[in-house]
């Protein structure tokens, strides 16, 4: 794995997420209302939907297709129908730059 610059903090509104592509793979960058930045796969492990299209509630992203929920800090499943956790990525913020170890 290697550190890659994927976005700017100013591009990710607080309480939301954005989708970025890393080597053709969809990754979600989440900016919690508390100001923390996290990175996960952007694809729901149950329905293959884009999680950034479903939104962020606190530290939990919601799948727009069937309502599965995942903790963006750990990738843990927080609500069915998903049972497989999300992959998460270490994040480093340097000034306005967001880097992930991918």
**Can you give the CATH number for the domain in which 75 is found?**
2.102.10.10
User: Is residue 38, in this structure, part of any structural domain at all?
Assistant: yes
Give the model confidence (pLDDT) of 22-48 as tens digits.
Answer: 999 999 999 999 999 999 999 999 999
Structural domain for 64, as ranges: 3-96
- Rounded Cα–Cα distance for residues 61 and 74 (Å): 11
Structural domain includes residue 11:
yes
Mean pLDDT over 35-64 rounds to 98
24 exposed, middle or buried (CB, 10 Å; 0-12, 13-18, 19+)?
Answer: exposed
Determine, yes or no, domain membership for 65.
yes
pLDDT at 97 (0 to 100): 99
Q: How many domains does the chain have?
A: 1
Would 21 be classed as within a structural domain? Answer: yes
Q: Does residue 19 lie in a domain region?
A: yes
pLDDT digits (tens, 9 = 90+) for 67-89: 999 999 999 999 999 999 999 99
- pLDDT cut 70: percent of the chain above it: 100
């Amino acid at each position: 794995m290697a550190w890659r610059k994927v976005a700017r903090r100013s591009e990710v509104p607080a309480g939301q997420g954005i989708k970025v592509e890393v080597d053709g793979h969809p990754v979600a960058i989440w900016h919690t209302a508390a100001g923390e930045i996290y990175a996960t796969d952007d694809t729901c492990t149950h329905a293959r939907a884009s999680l950034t299209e479903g939104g962020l509630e606190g530290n939990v992203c919601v799948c727009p297709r069937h309502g599965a929920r995942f903790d963006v800090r750990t990738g843990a499943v927080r609500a069915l129908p998903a049972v497989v956790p999300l992959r998460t990525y270490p994040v480093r913020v340097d000034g306005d730059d967001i880097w992930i170890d991918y």
